[in-house]
A and B are shown apart, each in its own frame.
Chain A
Amino acid sequence: MIKIQDNVSVTIISLLLLISTFYGFMFVLDPFANSFLERTGQEASATTIEMMGNVGWIYLAMGIGYMMVLIAPTEQSTVFIRFMVIGSFITLIRFIDLYANAEGDVIYGPLIATALVFIGNAYVYNRLKMKVGVFL
């Protein structure tokens, strides 16, 4: 069923799938989204919940993408993982900027999760020999 032969990569991709699904459901389902906003001290307006839902669906789609990576031959997944490396890197830079300028009590969970997602993607990308140049 799983085409990737490297167990470490399979484990990391499975964890990335789990993180995507976790955040996907957190943003898509209103009670979890409300709870998330409460914890981060933000106001839960209808618009915010709607926008979070949109982001949540992207996370769920990424989860499906990781599932496809698991069951497809490695060479068919190269572009997806490359995209995820770049995408998670950009997201990480943005999060670092946001957290650097944050005031008061902050929850570091999303920042740590984003960093782990970038490291995980980059490690899998390198480990499965998808890299074509020096950096990517």
Chain B
Amino acid sequence: MFNTQDNVIRIGMFLIGLMLLMYGGMMTFNLEFFFSRYPTINADQTNSFFITWTGINTLAFLAGVYYMGYKGLQQGFFVFMIPLIIGNIIWIYMAMSASGGDNYTGMISQIAALIILLVVRQRAGYKFSYPKAATAWGTDDKTSANLLYLGALLTVIGIVMYFVDPSAVLRDTAGLEVTAQGQHYALGIFVLTPIAILFALAYQWRCGVQGVLLSMGAFWSAIMIAMIFNNLAATAPGTEPNMLLAGFLMVNCIINLTVFFRLQDKF
């Protein structure tokens, strides 16, 4: 597994996969248990919406672990996951400070995951030098390269839009309410995760696209398209769905899937 004989790497990645599976499964499919473990989080529709979204993201990260289990470790995974987990730790600290919650399980598991990833990265022999690929994104396919530029641009636009109006998504999406906790979840979804995505995109721009990151993107997109259609179908008759958010996500999904299908024969 993971194309290595190093048992520390194997055990480390197994534990990372286990944590992602546990949190991804719980946040996507068992919200009641999640809310019971974190009583300071309001069990309302707004929080449920964002926790499910976070769960889907987590399952996509798990897909990356599975991918590397078969194909071998890739540096891009660490370039993405380490900033993401650092962001998560800051996010959890802010959430606990605001709500007074005393369940440290999430915080401890994120710190453990960070340590494991750093150890695995070290043992895999990855240096802090990033050799430049022959072409931008490491591919001659202009369509894919341009779509990746567009993806990076949209990611930046998404972050800027959050800072321009942090409660816009909550206000404009049917069924959601503008709450302090909802806004904090929006910070995680629309700022901290996209920052990690920007790290991953910058890395791929310089060093070439990575199969693990494109596969994670494709996996996420497949689930996200299903969720967008489900959300649109479930919107009560006479209620205006948030077409800006749905459109924004759909464009991202189309970019992810197009790049994946165009470049999949390279990995």
A interface residue numbers (CB < 8 A to B): 1-2, 10, 17-18, 21-22, 24-26, 28-29, 31-32, 35-36, 39, 63
Contact B230 A1 (CB under 8 A): no
Contact B225 A31 (CB under 8 A): no
- Which one of A1, A39, A63 has the greatest number of beta carbons of chain B within 10 Å? A1
Contact A22 B226 (CB under 8 A): yes
Known A1-B265, A28-B29, A31-B234: A18·B215 in contact at CB below 8 Å: no
Instruction: Label chain A's interface by main secondary structure.
Output: helix
B interface residue numbers (CB < 8 A to A): 28-29, 45, 48, 52, 211, 215, 222-223, 225-227, 229-230, 233-234, 261, 264-265, 267
Chain A residues, CB < 8 A from B227:
25
Contact B234 A18 (CB under 8 A): no
- Measured CB to CB, the closest approach of chain A to B257, in angstroms, equals 8
In the assembly, what is the distance between CA of A18 and CA of B229, in Å?
10
In the assembly, what is the distance between CA of A11 and CA of B135, in Å?
29
Contact among B230, B261, B264 with A32 in the assembled complex (CB-CB below 8 Å): B230
Closest to A70 in B: B264
- Which one of B28, B52, B222, B226 has the greatest number of beta carbons of chain A within 10 Å? B226
- Measured CB to CB, the closest approach of chain A to B170, in angstroms, equals 17
Closest to B264 in A: A1
